Structure formats: structure tokens, C-alpha cells
A and B are shown apart, each in its own frame.
Chain A
């Protein structure tokens, strides 16, 4: 009976049958502008960020971390602005992932300071006791191999010349080895002395993580002025002097803030909150604003994550421990 006794015909027919769906859903989209939008604001990775990305791939970070924020209310609250197709124009391969054993990383760039990442990669459980992330301290003990970097950016067509690549690497090395580098203390602690003057694999990985979502954030910052009313000083702390709220604020501080500001708020990765020095103002409204909207250099925004009430309680707690 027909094709069931003609193996070669059968194979050809099977190929035709499987190619229909393939053409419509895979091959045609390859040619469409909607799957490969490009935008001015999205910049390719620098040479060092690219090397960091390759380490991310080598270590299989994508097996536990996604890099795509879905347009869902709680997801945007947790991670930030949802992902746009043009952000991935330079991603070969894509790293969207399929499982969130750890959190999404598409908006992690700029969320925390470099020192946070060094400490966290070195020993995740020193910051979060219940974390199950593997420790990657050994990356700080391996010098970064840049012998293929130029070839890599050429293959990817990022358009950097050999000198430009060299310069990017040198510049980044100068940045992280400078005595003024903000993460110097922790970097020196985890990097063996003979490598402190060079780029390590850890340096590159941190550079890559800090790039994730940065272009989108920069775009958003330009168009946002948010929170003027809250910051105007007309807003009063509803819990001012409320003992119960201060106690609750203490618990919240331990849970969310202590990892960077220290258990006693005297500062570690983030600044000391006990002293009377306030970079962004020390009124209740100012502190509220810093927590709610975040500050440059690694203070994340907590508005949608914690909500007004909990932030005010934390403000009350911070005020209660301050040196008068």
C-alpha cells in the first residue's frame, strides 16, 4: 500500500511534513524584523564584559538563573522593568534560561555595588545563610585569559578594533586595581596578592553582571522624576516614635537591610546608618525616599517590594538608633 512500502518516499514525505511547522514558526521568524529589533540605546558588551559572559556560560549559570523578566505585576515588582526584545541584539547565544533556582538576573546590573558581587560570589552563605548557590571564590584565583578576546569580538561583529579591545581591558584593569576602587577592600581580601594587579575571572564576571539591564535602566532614569511629593518634606512618618513599629522595623531591617548595612547598621557594603552623616538627607522623608527609590552606586529600590508601611517602619527603626 503506497508510501508504507516505499522507505525513501516515506522519508521524503516525513521531511516535508516536519518542515511545514519548522518553516512557519522557526524559519520565517528568522527573517522578520520583530525577532531582531535593534535600538540605539542598547550597546554591545565591552571586551571585559564579554569575557565575563563567557565565564557565566562556562560555569552554566544559566542552569539556575533566568535573564528574562516577564510582563507580570509581581515579576516586575521583584526584578524591575520587563524584558524587551531589542535588549538581546548582541546576545549570541541568548541566556534566558528555563529555571529559577536563583533569581532572574536581567536587571541585576547596577542594583548592588561591585563589592556586593565580590562578597556574594566568594561566599554566598556569608550574606544569605539559607542560599544554596555554589561558592565561586576560585574565580578570583584565576587570571583572566584575554588572548582570544579580540577574535571573539570580531566573530560577534561588535566593531571594536584591536587597539580598542586592548584599551577596554587596560581601562578596566586600572579601574579595579586602583586604590580608589570602591570594592577594593573585599577584592583584595579574596584575590591572592600576586593577582591583585591583574584582571581575574571574577573581575570579568562582576563586570558582566553589572552590565545586565544597564542600558534599559539608563533609558528609564532619563524619563523618570518619580516621588517628588514623598520627598518634599511635607510627608510625615505615620509611625514616628511608635515603639511597636520600631520593633517591627528592626525585624525588617535584619531581614532585608543587614546583609549590606550590617546587623547593627554600622555599615559594611552599604554605608553606616548610625552616624549623623547623611549623603542624601537625614529627615524621615529623605530616608524614606532613599529606601523607596534607591540611590546610585548600589542602593536598590524597595518601593514595590516592601510597600509604604514596611518602609516607614524601617525608617522609624533607623531613626531610633541614630546618634542624636
Chain B
């Protein structure tokens, strides 16, 4: 056990940051969910839906998810290389810069400084800060990898490397813009090209923030939590390379039936279908890892999070390519169905894996026992029920919305005005809000449980690291 010199403060710092931005992002989410049926809540310009939705998506994708990714990456990196972080001071600066950037991002988005490109809304000065922050992170990742004392790089490290490289390329290319002044710029691309670059970015932000690093956590923390080796190393090699190869072709499935050249749309949907294979490669690898040990679903509270998480990932990666098919996209695109789809991925897969990773990691680096397993179970059930209530409601809403938009009378005229369709959605939007509340309560339980863990007395015997994997 060479614990000496390991930099865990920054792991902790990023974990706390993640939890903080999670609460903020969810509160904003609840507010805009309520605005859907209570438009009076658009009280001020900065509380209007158009501005707040961007704070919600950026706050959770970057504030919460990225912080959790940095936290787990710094932890996994040190464990898997059996080497302390190469540049701990730089990592602490990274933590500080990250939180400053997210706070400024939130403020600037509240103020309406917004490039309009989804998940790339920040104006150019903040783009530069993000790039500097990412370079700082990458330096630490590679410096530690080069110094490492474990020759072989385990699966999780592949995913971390792929994320580090790809996010840099995506972010820089999509954010190329010409400044007008400090607060305003115009995209370097126009029209159909701008759309194509944006969704090449947008879809791969999903791929390399919500998928690749979360898989890194899954491949590391599942074996660690269960003491079981991953089922197939060969399968993980195939799944990894085909996943990162296939992802970059698929952006245009967000632009089906738009004025983008048809061949780009067709290629995108073909590769989207292809992506089911590597996605399910990881799902199968996860399931088979549990082979013969499924009793852990009952006895080990962490396993539930991992198995349900990877299951939602599996469902997500079938639903996504399916709804992109031309016939189905004609029906589903622009409806609430897609909102439901996204939230299965984020509230199901991403949050469940991050929750379990934190439950594993934080007691260990704090040398404490988890405050309450009962509470962790409660947290699990609340976020599961909340998410299902949210997503299933919006899928039903989306089907109705799509059908009403398309309904015609025998003479070919439209059956419903746009407003009649809006009015029909109100009950669904209310249930969706309720789902969000249940989920939020689950997250509050999660955070309380972790805080109580941190504040509890030191464990008598520091929890030993299982030595395998």
C-alpha cells in the first residue's frame, strides 16, 4: 500500500464541486420544468426559460458531470498507475480555475451572453478559459501516465485518454468564432455548415462527456466494488476502438430532414445503428462480470447502481439510433420524446454511475465508513423512480405531440392547431415536474449521506484497498 504522496485533496475538491453544481443545476431544472406549465414564473429576464434552460444544461453537463469526471479521473489515474499525481499544485490550480469558470459561465448565461450553439453557449473569453483549463488537466494526465509504475494501462485509462484528446478537438473546432466585443461573437461557420459542425460537436459532447469517461468509471469501480474481474478484456478492446471510431460519424442524426445534404444524414444514421454494437459490448461485459455473483444485487448496495446504470446506458444506445431513423425522426424529432431520451441517459446512466463511484471513493480517501447504507438504498430508489416517472411521461407526451402535429382530416387539412397541442401537454409537464422533485429528493439524500460520512469519526481501521484490478 503506497498511499504516501497520493493527491486526494483535489479528488475531494472536485467531488464537492460536483455536488454543489448538481444542486444548482437541478434547482434550475425544476424551475424551468415548472415554467412549462406556469409561464408566470418567467419573472425577470434572467429567469426566463430561454436563458435558464442554458444554465441548466451547462450547469449539469459541465458543472456537475465534468467535476465528477475530474474527481474520478484524478483518483483512478493515481490508483491505476500506482503513482501520485505528477503535478499536484497544477491540479489544485485546475480545481480553482474550474470553479471560477463555471461560476462565470453561469453568471454570463444568466445575463444572456450566449452564442446559441447547444452545449457550447459560452462566449469566447470563457471558451479560452475552458481551453486553458483542459490543457492543464491533460498535462497532468499525461505526465502521470508517463511517470507511471504500472506498465500496462487498464481499460479505464484508455477511455480517459480518448476523452482528453477528443474533447479538446471538439471544443476548439466548434467554438471558432469572430469576436465583436468582449461579450459578443459570431460563429466562424454559416448556415448548414454551422449546423453540421455544431452537431458533430453536440453529439460527441454526449459521447465524450456522458459516455466515455462514465465508462472509465464503470470499468474501474464495478470490479473494485464487487471484487470481480471484468468479464472479457478482448471484448473491452473491441468495444473501445469501435466506439470511439463510430461516434464521430453520427452528429448529423440530430439534423435529419433539415437542409443539410442528404448523404451526411444517411451516413450519420448508418453509423448510429453501428454504434449499438460497441455500446452493448460494454453492457454485456458488465452483465457477464456479475455472472454467478448476482446475489450481490441484494448484498452489495453499490451493484444496483452499476447494473441499473449500465442497463439505462444499454436502453439509451438502442433508443437513440432507433429514433434517428428517417421515418421515426419525422415523428419524434422536436417533441418531448427527445427530452425524455436525454434524461434517461443523464438521470439514469450518468448519475447512477457517478453516485456509486462517489460512494466507493469518498469513504476510502476519507478513511471513513459510509454513514448509512440504508440511505444509499433510499437514494437509489428515489432517483430510479423519479427518473422513470420523468422519462416515461415525456415519451408518452412525445408520442401524443407527434401524432397531434401530424393528424389530418379526410380532406388533408390539419386537425389540430399548434396551441391545441400545447394545451394537451400540460398534464404531462406537471407529472414530469413531479418526477423531477422525486429525483431531487433522492439527490438531497445522496449529498446528506456523503456529508455525514465526511463528518463522521475516522474509521478504526482504514479501509484497505482490494488489491486486484
Contacts and interface: CB of A to CB of B under 8 A. Distances in A.
Contacts of B193: 29-30, 35-36
B183 to A, nearest CB: 10
B261 interface: yes
A14 B166 contact: yes
A310 B412 CA distance: 12
A136 B161 CA distance: 46
Nearest to B271: A21
Nearest to A133: B39
Main secondary structure of the interface of A (DSSP, over half): helix
Interface stretch (A58-66, A178-186, A226-234, A270-278): A58-66
A5 B152 contact: yes
B39 A91 contact: no
Nearest to A311: B413
Interface stretch (A165-173, A191-199, A299-307, A313-321): A299-307
A222 interface: no
B192 A85 contact: yes
Nearest to B208: A18
Nearest to A1: B152
A126 interface: no
B189 interface: yes
Nearest to A138: B45
Interface stretch (A111-119, A149-157, A203-211, A235-243): A149-157
Interface in B226-275: 241, 244-252, 254-255, 257-261, 264, 267-268, 271
Contacts of A29: 193, 196, 261, 264
Given A25-B248, A70-B257, A91 B414 contact: no
A59 to B, nearest CB: 5
B195 interface: yes
Contacts of A223: none
A148 B184 contact: yes
Nearest to B256: A70
A200 B252 CA distance: 38
Given A7-B145, A98-B334, A60 B190 contact: no
A91 B116 CA distance: 12
Contacts of B293: none
Contacts of B114: 57-58, 60
Interface residues on A, range: 35 or more
B50 A68 contact: no
A1 B113 CA distance: 49
Contact of B178 (A20, A148, A155): A155
Contacts, number: 268
B1 interface: no
Main secondary structure of the interface of B (DSSP, over half): helix
Interface string B83-123: 00000000000000000000000000000111111100000
Given A93-B117, A255-B417, A59 B51 contact: yes
A83 B258 contact: yes
A7 B153 contact: yes
Nearest to B37: A132
B426 to A, nearest CB: 8
Given A25-B200, A134-B48, A96 B244 contact: no
A93 to B, nearest CB: 4
A78 interface: yes
Nearest to A93: B187
B189 A155 contact: no
B54 A60 contact: yes
B42 interface: yes
Interface in B290-316: none
Most A Cβ at <10 Å: residue of B165, B247, B267, B426: B165
Given A24-B267, A57-B114, A63-B49, A74 B39 contact: no
Interface residues of B, number: 94
Contacts of B414: 74, 77-78, 304-306
B187 to A, nearest CB: 4
A92 interface: yes
B261 A131 contact: no
A70 to B, nearest CB: 4
Contact of B244 (A17, A57, A136): A17
B423 interface: yes
Interface in B401-432: 405-409, 411-414, 417-419, 422-423, 426
A63 B119 CA distance: 12
A14 B53 contact: no
Contacts of B192: 35-36, 85, 88, 94
A219 interface: no
Contacts of A297: none
Contacts of B45: 59, 138
B134 interface: no
A95 B249 contact: no
Interface of B: 35-37, 39, 42, 45, 48-51, 53-54, 112-118, 142, 145-146, 148, 151-153, 157-158, 161-162, 164-166, 169, 173, 178, 180-181, 184, 186-198, 200, 241, 244-252, 254-255, 257-261, 264, 267-268, 271, 330, 334-335, 338-339, 405-409, 411-414, 417-419, 422-423, 426
Interface of A: 1, 4-5, 7-8, 10-11, 14-15, 17-22, 24-26, 29-30, 32, 34-36, 54, 57-64, 66, 68, 70-75, 77-78, 83-85, 87-103, 124-125, 128, 130-136, 138, 148, 151-152, 155-156, 255-256, 304-310
23 contacts: A14-B161, A14-B166, A17-B245, A25-B196, A29-B196, A36-B191, A36-B193, A57-B114, A57-B115, A60-B49, A63-B49, A66-B334, A68-B259, A77-B408, A77-B414, A78-B414, A92-B187, A92-B191, A93-B198, A94-B192, A102-B422, A132-B37, A135-B42
Given A92-B194, A96-B255, 20 more contacts: A5-B151, A14-B166, A18-B245, A26-B197, A35-B260, A36-B190, A57-B114, A59-B51, A60-B53, A74-B406, A74-B408, A87-B191, A92-B188, A93-B116, A93-B187, A94-B187, A94-B191, A95-B116, A131-B422, A307-B412
